[in-house]
Structure formats: structure tokens, C-alpha cells
Structure 1
Amino acid sequence: MGGDVDPETIAENLSALSNPLRIRILLALAETRRPNWDHRGMSYSDLRSAVGIEDGGRFNYHVNELRDQFVRSEDGQYWLTTAGSRVVDEIYAGTFSAGHEAVSGPLEWTCPADGKRLEAAVDTGVITVSCPDHGVLFDMTLSFNSPRGRDPDELFAWANRRALWYLESVSWDVCPHCAGRFEEAAIAAHSPESETRLETLGCETATMVIVGMRCRRCGVSFRVPAFYYALTRAPTIAFLHDHGIDYRTPELEYGSTAWRCESEPLGDGVLVRFEVDGDRLEIELDDALETRTYRRTLATEDR
């Protein structure tokens, strides 16, 4: 548990939400952000009318229970705090309604290692993508309501983009869960065990480098192959684009068989090499995962 977490204070604040009328107040205030995101407030009379409360004393009591933590007021105007907005977002996402949907089925993508059709399953807000032989290759949390009106391929594409955003957030030193800062990255060579998801990547596993990051605030840890961080850097994006590969889609790992990569740890960073159709990119990241140098050559020039 994080050192700055106060369970008593949190429980007290969350108890302010344990009334349907207060939830209606939050939802009414959320309407003000719909037209143009001006974050304008609602007047006392407009808010009271929106939630349909004739008893002024009762209305004041419930608004005061939300004040400061979830609702702010100034000059007769009321609006949501950041915490109030987050609560509304989770309400619409179905996080608190326990009405999540389950979806499963085959994907259009295949396992890079054996070419077998991948299967996706979404349940309780988590998507898992599996190969019959290699087990789970990918998983990511999604909103509970995300399966509504979407097929497994759409959900997989969205989850892949979400995973890339996680990587970018981590490399910006912002935890995607709590916005805390990370401890110094641990960069080291790694030899994956057989039949693991790492073996299905288009990477030379003998020289695979893993980057480990741990959030100082919430303690969440990330252990990710270094080449994933290189994927989100401008030189790599341009390199792959020149070969018709969109790094933002599952195509790179599950659609294209023409690419290869390898990585090696440096004293203060990591070197990642990508190769597609005889074209090679070497990109060097420092210990903060920022681009230090890059070089693009034909693979035959190095022989």
C-alpha cells in the first residue's frame, strides 16, 4: 500500500457518494461539459431544477456532502472537481454498475510463431488474446461497457492502442494508473523461457532487453521488452511507415512477417535494431528511454 494513502479519509470521501440523489447531482453537473468543454458551472436554481428536488433544505444537505471533494462552488456557480469528473466517467463506463458484457471469438490475426488463428475474450473489463499453442499473448484492461456494439477485432485494436499509450506514459515518467513518478529504469538482457509470449515476437530473443519500471507512489511495476519503447519514437514510426507498417495497429506483431529486431543493453541505455526488407534502423535510447541517436542503413552495408 502506498505510503501516502489514508484509508480512513478515502472511505469518508467515498461515503459521500452513497446516495442516489448525489449521483444525480454529479450527472447533472456533467451535462455542462457536453456542448463545448468550457467547464462552465451551473447556477443553484438550475442544478436544483435539473435533479428535481423541491425541498431546498434537502438539496443543500446533499450538495454540501459532495462539496470540496467532488463539487466546487463559487459566485453561485457549481461545477465538478477532477474527482467528480472521474466518478462520472466511471459511471458511464459501467465500472460501478456491475453490468459488464462478455465477448469472445476468433480474430483476423494469427500467431507470429505458428500461424494459428488467435482467439480473443473480454470479460470483467479485461481482454485476453490467446494462441492455442502459446497461451495468452496479450491482455489489457478495458472499460466494462467497451464490448457493446464492438466485435473482438475492434476491441483488440483499441486495446493495442491503449497499451502503446501506457508505454508512452511510462516513458514520460507518468504512471498511467496514479500519475506518480517512476524509480530509475532497470535495463538488462533477458533470456525468455521456452513457450512464452516473448518467443512469438519478431525479435531475437537471445539478445532481448527488458526494461523494468516501478511507480514510487502506487508500486505498480512494468517489465516490457525495450523495443516496445522504441516503437513509439519518431524515427521508428517513420521507418515502419516507409515499409507500409502502422505501428499503432496489431499489424506489426500479428500481421507482418517481414520485420525483425534485436536489442542490447548499453552502459546507460539500450540499443534497438529494426530490420525490414533489408532496410535497417538502429535507435539508441538513454536510461530515461529518450532517443539519443539513430541511424538508418541497408543491412548489406554492415556486412
Structure 2
Amino acid sequence: MTGNKSEGNDPGPSYVEDELSPEAAFELAAHETRIAVLQTLQAANGGPLSFGEIRERVGVDDPGQCHYHVDKLCDRFVRKTDRGYTLTPAGWQLMGALLSGSVTSSIPEEAVDAGGACSECGGGLSAYFRKSGVTIACTACKSVQTDPDIPPAMFEDWPLEDLPEVVGRHTRRMELDAAHGFCPNCRGRVSRGVVTPADEAAPDWFDGQETDAIVLTDCQRCGRWWHAVPSIAALAEPAVIALHHDHGIDLRERPWWTLDHLAVGDVALTSNPTRVRIPIALGDGWTVVFDDAFDFVETRQTER
């Protein structure tokens, strides 16, 4: 589950000053000619393009009008260099948001077999596509396995039957971002930690679930948050990736709900110090250990 906090979000110290409000930034780009300029530079691999090349490709007859709109984009979304105009990192990000379909598209509502088995009853799973994301749920007991919001354009150029794998890669990428300390939404710094039902930070629905802990990731900048059970969050850890690779499993190609050796809610939690022990039934059996910040501690082979 993901969300955004409305209050209580303390971003901590900041070394970056906002030179432009979000409203002003959107106003700068809110014109069809300016969007066309950005699209032209993006299509040219970010530039550089001369002013004449931009005007010709955008199709603006009046040089003064074209200069006006290009100048409005300069410094924030476009950079003027000796060789011509190029996209800035902010320009690339804006075009990325448009190309991803996050703000312009929706996902056709369809369903497709997701493979794997339900963690609750062992039934089959289907991927149900909604306008802004995907729900992987059991066809028998209706238990939801995962329910991420996904940019629609992520599914372009993929066959329908491969879309559940794309969902798996997307959710795993979120955990990889979190493991490196970054929010996948705004690239802000995230805090990450192990939460139990008794903790103040625990969501209301957590009490009564069939696991003793979840991993909560919380962005200090935009307030986006999400949770994952430890066995799924652990799949972003290099040691766990290597363990699967040694047993012939490429986690890039296998969504977590197709991993029969992974007991999703099976977690052993100990205190003083806090340790989260996750069993992984590969080979003779392994246990992966994390601390209360969900930082990797060690991998142990299961005692026989």
C-alpha cells in the first residue's frame, strides 16, 4: 500500500533552497509551444539544438514569439550553451512524467493470469488492471497480494501476458530505491524501518495480520509512503539477490508471488537488539537477518 501524509512530515535539514514555487514551475511549462520545445529537445536526445533548429521543428513562424517561449523555459527546464539549447535535469524529469503517462494517460481495465499462488489459500492469481494501477488478487478468496499505482506508459510495448512480470519488476524497483535511500516519486530521502502492530507508526489495518512485522518506507520530502512484508522487501538486498542467483533464479524475471520457496508472512522477530529473521527455503535452507532499520546483518544457513 502507498499513500501521502497530510501532516507531521518533518523533512529535517535542507541544503537546497526553492528558487521557484511549484505553481510557478508549472506555469512556465503550461503552453503548447513550450511543451513542443521540450518535446523537440527530448527527441534530439536533450540537444544541443540551435534556436533556428528549434523554431523549424516546432513550426513557429514568428521568431519573436518562439524566442519568448524558449526564454521562459531557460534556466529551469532549458539551458542555453555555446553549442545551442539543451534540456536541464528538471526538463528531463518533466518530459519523463509526460512520457510515462503519469499525468496524461490511463490503463485499460483488463485482467490477465498473474501466475503463482495466493499466499492465503493457494488459489490462482489474476492481475486486474485499473485506470491508475494494477491489483494482483486471488481468484478464489479474493485476497489482494499487491496493489501498486503504476504509470500507464510502463506497459507500452509489452505483450499482455507479460504485464504481471512488469508489475513485479516495478514493485521490486520501489524496494531497490528505498534500499538506496531514495523516494521513487520525488527522489527525496526516505526513512525506512521495521514496524510491529504495537508501534505508533503501525497502520490501523496491521493488527491481526499473519505477520509480526512490516517494513515501512516514508519519504521525508513528498510524504509518499508504502509498506511491504519483510520477505518481499528483502528481495532488494544484494545478498538475497545473489542467493537466488546461485540457485538459478533471476529475480528480475520472477515476481515475488511466483516464488514457491518464499513464505510471505513467515518472519521471526527478536529484541535487544531488534533482529528480523526471514527464512528462504532454497537448497538446504537459509535465514536472512536484518536490524530494526531493515539494514542487512547477515545470511545464515539453516541448522540441520
* CA shift for structure 1 position 268: 4.3
* CA shift for structure 1 position 292: 2.3
Identity %: 23
Distance 2:217 2:65 in 1: 49
* CA shift for structure 1 position 106: 2.9
Distance 1:109 1:293 in 2: 28
Match of 1:295 among 286, 294, 300: 300
- Select between 276-285 and 161-170 the one with higher mean Cα deviation: 276-285
- The alignment's TM-score, normalised by the length of structure 2, stands at 0.79
Match of 1:262 among 262, 267, 271: 267
- Matched AA of 2:269: E
- Matched AA of 1:180: G
Match of 1:81 among 83, 88, 105: 88
Tell whether the 8 Å contact from 1:210 to 1:226 is kept in structure 2 after alignment.
yes
The alignment partner of 2:152 has SS state of coil
Which digits, 9 at most, give the CA deviation of each residue in 1:6-61, with x for residues without a partner?
A: 8x82212212222211111001111221xxxxx54111222222212231111111
* CA shift for structure 1 position 189: 6.5
Is 1:163 the counterpart of 2:134? The answer is no
What is the aligned partner in structure 2 of residue 12 from structure 1?
Answer: 24
Match of 1:222 among 212, 220, 226: 226
What is the aligned partner in structure 2 of residue 237 from structure 1?
Answer: 241
* CA shift for structure 1 position 246: 3.5
The alignment partner of 2:76 has SS state of coil
What is the aligned partner in structure 1 of residue 14 from structure 2?
Answer: none
Which digits, 9 at most, give the CA deviation of each residue in 1:161-182, with x for residues without a partner?
A: 1111111211222122222223
Q: CA, structure 1 residues 94+183, in 2 after alignment: closer, same or farther (shift >3 Å)?
A: closer
Gaps of 5+ in 1: 34-38, 200-204
Is 1:30 the counterpart of 2:37? The answer is no
Match of 1:107 among 95, 108, 114: 114
Distance 1:252 1:269 in 2: 25
* CA shift for structure 1 position 73: 0.8
Which digits, 9 at most, give the CA deviation of each residue in 1:47-105, with x for residues without a partner?
A: 22221223111111111121222111122511111221122223223334346433323
What is the aligned partner in structure 2 of residue 59 from structure 1?
Answer: 66
What is the aligned partner in structure 2 of residue 125 from structure 1?
Answer: 132
- Select between 59-68 and 173-182 the one with higher mean Cα deviation: 173-182
Distance 1:211 1:94 in 2: 29
Tell whether the 8 Å contact from 2:215 to 2:230 is kept in structure 1 after alignment.
yes
The alignment partner of 1:294 has SS state of strand
Q: CA, structure 1 residues 183+250, in 2 after alignment: closer, same or farther (shift >3 Å)?
A: same
* CA shift for structure 1 position 278: 6.4
What is the aligned partner in structure 1 of residue 123 from structure 2?
Answer: 116
Distance 1:228 1:154 in 2: 20
Tell whether the 8 Å contact from 1:103 to 1:147 is kept in structure 2 after alignment.
no
Tell whether the 8 Å contact from 1:93 to 1:144 is kept in structure 2 after alignment.
yes
What is the aligned partner in structure 1 of residue 285 from structure 2?
Answer: 280
What is the aligned partner in structure 1 of residue 188 from structure 2?
Answer: 180
Distance 1:140 1:52 in 2: 40
Which digits, 9 at most, give the CA deviation of each residue in 1:252-292, with x for residues without a partner?
A: 43352x44453314434433232426622222223443322
Is 1:144 the counterpart of 2:152? The answer is yes
- Matched AA of 1:128: T
* CA shift for structure 1 position 126: 0.3
Distance 2:52 2:220 in 1: 44
Distance 1:99 1:292 in 2: 41
Q: CA, structure 1 residues 3+59, in 2 after alignment: closer, same or farther (shift >3 Å)?
A: farther
Q: CA, structure 1 residues 130+93, in 2 after alignment: closer, same or farther (shift >3 Å)?
A: same
* CA shift for structure 1 position 242: 3.9
Between the two proteins, the alignment pairs up a number of residues equal to 283
* CA shift for structure 1 position 225: 1.9
The alignment partner of 1:158 has SS state of helix
Distance 2:37 2:120 in 1: 53
Distance 2:299 2:101 in 1: 44
Match of 1:70 among 63, 66, 77: 77
Higher relative contact order (CA 8 A, sep 6+): 2
